[in-house]
Amino acid sequence: MALDLLAENLRLTYADTRGGSFSVFDIPRLKIPAGAHVGITGPSGSGKTSLLYVLTGIERPTSGSIRWGDVAITDLSERARDRWRRDNIGFIFQDFHLLPAMSPVNNVLVPYTFGRWSVPAEIRQRAADLLDQLGAPKDRHAVSVLSRGEQQRVALARALLNRPGLIVADEPTASLDAASGQVIINLLFDMAKQTGATLLSVTHDPHLIERFDVVYRLQEQSLVRFDKGTVGQKPVVSRAGG
């Protein structure tokens, strides 16, 4: 079930090599309404992936609060955050994080196996059905023999297995040719619309940027509103709001 995602006074800092620290981002407020399709762009190294990790509880912020509906994610223990993420988030990592020696179906089933001893037949069938729906081969003995585009589809199926309220994608079209990238873009939006899930993605792809309801740019530690009409030109920006 999709719910509003609200971050306030969100800061992330890292230690530097001289014993000090530097700021990755400082975001006064970011509200992502339930069911919205939101993109985040910005220069390489600006902290976009770190922002995704913080918003989804993979990494703790230095300060600030994040709420998913009535759940204060930043107040949860690490184990509780893991459970919350398993139940609510479908994350498509840039490098997929697939297990190369496992079959496509078993890779899709990995999120379900956390904390469980067995996989019911209906869940295994859902994994196979998702692979069929996404056009990914399910009868290969290992994902290592698949093309990058096919692996991307397996990763998308895995993210959708638990019917998440929030689908998160980190550079989902990176390293794909234009045709394969367009297929993945269409699949992402189709699946989000089918389930009513919120879609949040980091991307540099102008074709993907054009599809979002709202796009933000992370630059100089700040998150600013990005005018999609300036893709390929100097962006017009304003402070992120809710």
pTM for the whole structure: 0.89
Write down the pLDDT at residue 20. 79
Q: At what angle do helices 104-113 and 148-160 cross, to 10 degrees?
A: 30
Counting as low any pLDDT under 50, the low residues of the chain are: 231-238
Q: What is the pLDDT of residues 201-240, one digit of tens each?
A: 999 999 999 999 999 999 899 999 987 665 444 443 445 5
Q: How far apart are CA 187 and CA 152, in angstroms?
A: 11
Write down the pLDDT at residue 235. 40
Q: What is the pLDDT of residues 173-194, one digit of tens each?
A: 887 888 888 988 998 999 899 9
Write down the pLDDT at residue 158. 94
What domains are there in the chain, each with its CATH number? Answer: 5-239 (3.40.50.300)
Mean pLDDT of the chain: 89
**For the chain, what percentages of helix, strand and coil (3-state, to nearest 5) are there?**
35, 25, 40
Write down the pLDDT at residue 21. 86
Write down the pLDDT at residue 241. 56
CA dihedral 145, 163, 84, 59 (to 10 degrees): 40
Write down the pLDDT at residue 106. 94
- Sign, CA dihedral 170-53-109-69, equals negative
Write down the pLDDT at residue 234. 41
Helix/strand/coil for 192:
helix
Write down the pLDDT at residue 233. 41
